[in-house]
A and B are shown apart, each in its own frame.
Chain A
Amino acid sequence: MKSADGDCKLLILIPAFNEEGAVGGVVQAVKGVMPGVPILVVDDCSVDATVTASRGAGAEVLMLPHHLGLGGCVQAGYKLAFELGYDYVIRVDGDGQHDARDIPQVYEALRSSGCEMVIGSRFVNGDAGGTSLLRGAGIRFFRAVLRPILGRSVHDPTSGFVGVNRSALGVFSRSFPLEYPEIEALVVLQRRRFRFVEVPCRMLPRRSGRSSITPIKSIYYIVHVLLGVFVNVLKYERRTPKQSRRS
């Protein structure tokens, strides 16, 4: 993976932890849709063959020396992308649940909307189905919590299918929630008066493995994220002047 120069300003970022069964297919699917675009798999110290599978499929791999969790893993990728000068980064989960065919419209929205963040949402065009009862309830709950904070509704606040531009990349390189980052990241951006837009996307079944979110963890998730949201709301952040947001 080279530094971003010329037209090559987009990076596809795939955080992965023990995804040997899925990550190779994800990389190949992305390459099929976005040929020539560099793909970076951030391996969160997997104990299986995730690194080999990623490299075998043609991705570059950033290997973390120990397990950091999703937020630390994604932030490592953001930091590297920022250092290498990328203008846009689109994050796709390594379990194969995000349809690579939706990447072009996320990229197009990033370039044309002027928003700092684009979320691939399952619910823009109504309920896409396939979401468990518990997760659906959690999503509705966080929609209600976030609405007054963000000043607008967000259909899919837990989506990990996210594109960011360089301004957001700079912010996330310095400050990014470490556990369950999606919802808190929205609040971090709101504190900077950054904007986001949602584009419809499809959700596929996992290619392999199981979700790490169990019913007990769901309760912990809700409490943890709620606390994180309110801490971020209360956190003092120096506001970025509007005119200097886009570099």
Chain B
Amino acid sequence: MERLLNVMTGLSVLLILMVLVSVRRARIRVEYSVAWLVGAAALLGLSRARGLLRSIADLLGMTYPPLALMLLVGCVFLLIFYRFSLIISQLKDDNIALAQRVAILEYHLQTLKDQAAGC
């Protein structure tokens, strides 16, 4: 159990560092880094707070506390993925609408140019 929790701690620290570096290099926007940082911080906190983890495991009827941690982590990241799916869907809709608008505006522009050239 101890080894597994230590691995989880290491992974959460690694995740926090990766996200922070990505934010610093402007590869992730700050608003999208928050969900990852909160998730990783929760993972870090729970992997170090053995008493709290044991209480949660008892509450969930689990005899092995790291399993409860894995379940919680899974739920948190599922929520994060769901949120990002919503964001991606919205971005795709916006992107399609923008591409169509650009095409239509270019069409109008070309028509105006042709009319001006014909005058």
Cβ B99 vs Cβ A79 within 8 A: no
Q: How many residues of A contact B (CB 8 A)?
A: 15
* Chain A 53-83: CB-based contact to B (< 8 A → 1; otherwise 0): 0000000101111101000100110011001
CA distance in complex: A178, B96 (Å):
9
- Cβ < 8 Å to A, chain B residues 76-113: 96, 99-100, 102-104, 106-107, 111
Known A64-B99, A68-B96; further 12 A-B contacts with Cβ < 8 A:
A62-B103, A63-B103, A63-B106, A66-B99, A68-B100, A72-B99, A72-B100, A76-B99, A76-B100, A76-B103, A79-B100, A83-B104
Docked complex Cα distance between A214 and B100 (Å):
28
Which B residue sits closest to A45, measured CB to CB? B99
From DSSP, what is the main secondary structure of chain B's interface residues? helix
8 A Cβ contacts from B39-89 to A:
none
- 6 tightest Cβ-Cβ pairs between the two chains A and B: A76-B100, A64-B103, A72-B96, A80-B104, A65-B102, A62-B107
B104 / chain A contacts, CB cutoff of 8 Å: 62, 76, 79-80, 83
Report how far A82 CA is from B103 CA in the complex, Å.
15
Interface residues of B (CB under 8 A from A): 96, 99-100, 102-104, 106-107, 111
Q: Which residues of A contact B (CB under 8 A)?
A: 1, 60, 62-66, 68, 72, 75-76, 79-80, 83, 178
Cα-based distance from A44 to B16 in the complex (angstroms): 41
Q: How far is the CA of A75 from the CA of B104 in the complex (A)?
A: 11
B117 to chain A, nearest CB (A): 16
- Chain A residues with Cβ below 8 Å from B106 are 63
What residues of B have a CB within 8 angstroms of the CB of A63 in the complex? Answer: 103, 106-107
When chains A and B are docked, how far (Å) is the Cα of A72 from the Cα of B94? 12
- How far apart are B115's CB and chain A's nearest CB, in angstroms? 10
Q: Which residues of A contact B96 (CB under 8 A)?
A: 68, 72, 178
A-B contact pairs, 10 of them (CB 8 A): A60-B107, A65-B103, A68-B100, A72-B100, A75-B100, A79-B104, A80-B104, A80-B107, A83-B104, A178-B96
Nearest CB in chain B: distance from A227 CB, A? 14
A68-B99 in contact (CB<8A): yes
Query: For the complex, what is the distance from the CA of A76 to the CA of B103, rounded to whole Å?
Result: 8
* A78 (CB) vs chain B CBs: closest residue: B100
A162 to B99, CA, bound (A): 24
With A and B bound together, what is the CA distance between A83 and B100 in angstroms?
A: 13
Contacts of A79 on B, CB cut-off 8 Å? 100, 104
In the complex, what's the smallest C-beta–C-beta distance from A228 to chain B, in angstroms? 14
Q: In the complex, what residue of chain B is closest to A178 when comparing beta carbons? A: B96
Closest chain A CB from B21 CB (angstroms): 30
Q: Write out the residue numbers on chain A whose beta carbons fall within 8 Å of the beta carbon of B100.
A: 64, 68, 72, 75-76, 79
Give the nearest-CB partner of B111 in chain A.
A1
- What are the residues of chain A within 8 A of B111 when measuring CB–CB? 1
In the bound complex, residues from chain A placing their C-beta under 8 Å from that of B107 are 60, 62-63, 80
Minimum Cβ distance to chain A for residue B28 (Å)? 23
Residue of A nearest to B96 (CB): A72
Minimum CB–CB distance from A196 to chain B (whole Å) comes to 24
